[in-house]
């Protein structure tokens, strides 16, 4: 059975293989922020044994990072912080904000300085380019990140949503410690190329969407709806008739989980961790949403269970939908 901690080069402490994802804590695209609950959620995650918090400036346009910084300042902790950069935004309020890709060196340096201030730290444990910027040469972005790394402002470097070819260009200039793509029971495209790439180049995968935006919590039904400012209102998985098909699969996953005395959440995340050198990002915005994290550790799926998972998917979701709807546009 694989270890339930993992090391990222550049970070001295072994990291829990479940990290807290804080997009929803920032509020944007998740129905607005709730700062006190956000702080309590981060504290609850640390109490559950999570020692890596993943955030990004674009999550609430700095707000998620500020909440993470506040939470870690208020509680004695041994948690590390992963954040991102490379997305720019313009607009007067969240409803009219335009987000686009921007990994120009000057933007990178500004984002790192802003993140250090919001997070209330002197060094960022893991800094990742959020999305590739096709209007900025990747080697230029990587070179600026390497400078910041050498200046002691970043411990480890990573990328998110990059292709193997793009990662090769990055690695020619700077060390690549982590890769952050989507991965869960329903979104498995990276099994073909990104996972083999990570194993070949000793990179750790931070899998986002581990619970598929709540679909794998077992707490949704056919009558579940989402407000317009919730990103799931634009996710085709959560629209009829797709929603019913995905829920039918979740019902069967839940039965498999019950045989092991586990929740469907723990089962789904354990399946993910069994795929390779992976840290699962467990998104939450309320303290109760991180309860049960410990149930992920100390066991693995059997070969029979893995086959049962594949059979369930083949029957209910033979043509899974990738999360391409979340991709931000290029810079004008």
Which residues are known catalytic residues?
Answer: 59
Structure tokens, 72: 């870690």
Distance (Å, whole) CA 283 – CA 23: 7
φ/ψ of residue 102, rounded to 5: -160, 100
3-state SS, the chain, equals: CCCCEECCCCCCCCEECEEEECHHHHCCCECCCCHHHHHHHHHHHHHCCCCEEECCCCCCCCHHHHHHHHHHHHCCCCCEEEEEECEEEECCCHHHCEEEECCCHHHHHHHHHHHHHHHCCCCEEEEEECCCCCCCCHHHHHHHHHHHHHCCCEEEEEEECCCHHHHHHHHCCCCCCEEECECCCCCCHHHCCHHHHHHHCCCEEEEECCCCCCHHHCCCCCCCCCCCCEHHHHCHHHCCCHHHHHHHHHHHHHHHHHHCCCCHHHHHHHHHHCCCCEEEEEECCCHHHHCCHHHHCCCCCCHHHHHHHHHHHHHHCCCCCCCHHHCCCCCC
Look at strands 18-21 and 5-6 and give their pairing: unpaired
Reading the block at residue 317, the tokens are: 């979701």
Question: How far, in Å, CA of 232 to CA of 226, rounded?
Answer: 7
Written as six digits, the tokens of 116 are 């250090």
């Amino acid at each position: 059975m694989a270890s339930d901690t993992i090391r990222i080069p550049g970070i001295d402490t072994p990291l829990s293989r479940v990290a807290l994802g804080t997009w929803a804590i920032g509020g944007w695209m998740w129905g607005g922020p709730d700062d006190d609950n956000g702080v309590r959620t981060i504290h609850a995650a640390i109490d559950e044994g999570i020692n890596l918090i993943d955030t990004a400036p674009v999550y609430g346009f700095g707000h998620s990072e500020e909440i993470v910084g506040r939470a870690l300042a208020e509680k004695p902790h041994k948690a590390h912080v992963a954040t991102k950069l490379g997305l720019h935004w313009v607009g007067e309020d969240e409803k009219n904000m335009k987000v686009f890709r921007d990994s120009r060196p000057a933007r990178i340096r500004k984002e790192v300085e802003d993140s250090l201030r919001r997070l209330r730290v002197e060094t960022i444990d893991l800094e990742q380019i959020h999305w590739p910027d096709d209007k900025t040469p990747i080697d230029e972005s990587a070179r600026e990140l390497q400078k910041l790394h050498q200046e002691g402002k970043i411990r480890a470097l990573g990328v998110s949503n990059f292709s193997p070819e793009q990662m090769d260009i990055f690695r020619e200039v700077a060390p690549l410690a982590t890769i952050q793509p989507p991965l869960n029971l329903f979104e498995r495209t990276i099994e073909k190329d990104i996972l083999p790439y990570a194993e070949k180049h000793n990179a750790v995968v931070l899998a986002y969407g581990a619970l598929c935006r709540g679909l794998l919590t077992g707490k949704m039904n056919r009558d579940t709806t989402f407000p317009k400012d919730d990103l799931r209102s634009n996710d085709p998985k959560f629209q009829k008739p797709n929603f019913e098909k995905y829920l039918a699969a979740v019902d069967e996953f839940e039965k498999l989980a019950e045989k092991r005395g586990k929740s469907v959440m723990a089962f789904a995340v354990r399946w993910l961790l069994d795929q390779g050198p992976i840290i699962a990002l467990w998104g939450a915005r309320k303290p109760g949403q991180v309860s049960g994290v410990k149930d992920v550790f100390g066991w693995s799926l059997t070969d029979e269970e893995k086959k049962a998972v594949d059979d369930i998917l083949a029957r209910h979701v033979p043509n899974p939908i990738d999360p391409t709807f979340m991709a931000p546009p290029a810079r004008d």
